[in-house]
Amino acid sequence: MSKKMVIFTDLDGTLLDHHSYSWAPARPALEALNRGRIPVILCSSKTRAEIATLRDELQNQHPYIVENGAAVVIPYGYFEPAPDPEHPEKRSEQTVSFGTSRDRILAVLDYLKRQGFRFRSFAAMSAGELAQVTGLSEAAAVRAQTRTATEPLLWEADADSLEVFKAVLARYRLQLLEGGRFFHVMGFFDKADAMEYLLERYRIFYQNQDVVSVALGDSPNDTRMLEHADIPVVIANAVGGSLQLPNRGNAVYSDKKGPEGWNASILQILKESFPQAAQSTE
């Protein structure tokens, strides 16, 4: 049985530079994957609006995963024939949701704030403040605030208080995941759940081929996605302390950070594990 590779990638600090948000150093690998017709699934804590903008830049037409796995968004007619191809005005993306609502999360956070926990969430920041914290433009910061099922925050107290905060959130069936810049308050789902859903769709779609998943990430909130992939790739963290996957002996660890590490890792995987794909992308 022939193999079909599907790529799942984190964005900030992985495909995108931690500081500049540029993906340009990964261009050779992205072009190789495009020529090889290998899907690249963007999988991030970013919102639908943010990823939609990036997909336009990358000319990426594949499904994508938003808000740390809160939802999978599938383009119109991607896995099956479009239901109404003669009426493009009716075209829309299919959204499969896994998360709780942001309104409920904000209600819990408001209560915990009044109990004395010290943090600043996206909802408490103006677009200008968020732009200063993240290095985004104000327009991009507005897109980052259009969330539906998660809430990022900056923790402003000590580590002991953070552990208490996590325990209290769990009473409300919420968890706290650590990302590259922020902690993320969310329900009990993650990128791995969304990845598994899409992989099952791809297995049906590529019914006569063995689907092999490759996942790339750099932060703790990528851990389960990496552990569930056939080939996990840990990108060197831009601020130090790279992830370790002790139970995955086949894990690939990049020497370079961000998109440079992404580019080198993907090209090496193509060369070593998918010679046919590598030949088609030369």
- Active-site positions read 10
Q: How far apart are CA 2 and CA 280, in angstroms?
A: 15
DSSP 175-208: EEEE-SS-EEEE-S--HHHHHHHHHHHHHHHTTT
Q: How far apart are CA 18 and CA 134, in angstroms?
A: 10
Name 131's Cβ contacts closer than 8 Å, sequence gap at least 6: 137, 138, 140, 141
Burial class (CB in 10 A: 0-12, 13-18, 19+), 55: middle
Paired tokens of 66 = 């938003």
Let me know: does 213 contact 199? Beta carbons within 8 Å. yes
Q: How far apart are CA 127 and CA 142, in angstroms?
A: 6
60-93: b (≥16 Cβ within 10 Å) or e: bebbbbbbbbbbbbbbeeeeeeeeeeeeeeeeee
